[in-house]
Amino acid sequence: MDRTTETMLRTFLESELSRLETEIEEIELEGHEALSEASGENNYRDHMADQGSATFSRELDMTLDDNVRDALVAVRKALVRMDEGVYDVCERCGAPIGEERLKAMPTATMCITCKAAEESR
């Protein structure tokens, strides 16, 4: 991979890292606020449909939180791989990942062949 592409991808990953860290801080702040609101809640007076909606909303929030945290881990891993000089090397077979793949998916850790094989299982 040429230096220009690597620099572009590093810049993108670093900005993505910052964005995700900020998003997690906001999620945690909102989570603390929601917990303090929920502590005064009397579930017996709520209608069952309201309870179901609240449960769905909490589960959706937890799923979105998990997705953001997973993305943060992937971005950090990509930056470490870059620092170690193995960013564009497939973790599975050792072949080059491919510049176009990394431009499309900057956190990719496998070449397209290995990723397709993994997903076909």
97 within domain boundaries: no
44 within domain boundaries: yes
99 within domain boundaries: no
Total number of domains in the chain: 1
117 within domain boundaries: no
Q: Which residues contact 64 (CB under 8 A, 6 or more apart)?
A: 27
115 within domain boundaries: no
Structural domain boundaries enclosing 40: 3-86
72 within domain boundaries: yes
Q: Give how far the C-alpha of residue 85 lies from the chain's centroid of Cα atoms, to the nearest Å.
A: 22
**Residue pLDDT tens, the chain, 121 long:** 899 999 999 999 999 999 999 999 998 888 755 544 554 454 555 666 666 666 676 777 677 889 999 999 999 999 999 999 999 999 999 999 999 999 999 999 999 999 999 999 8
101 within domain boundaries: no
52 within domain boundaries: yes
Cβ proximity of 97 and 118 under 8 Å = no
pTM score, whole prediction = 0.76
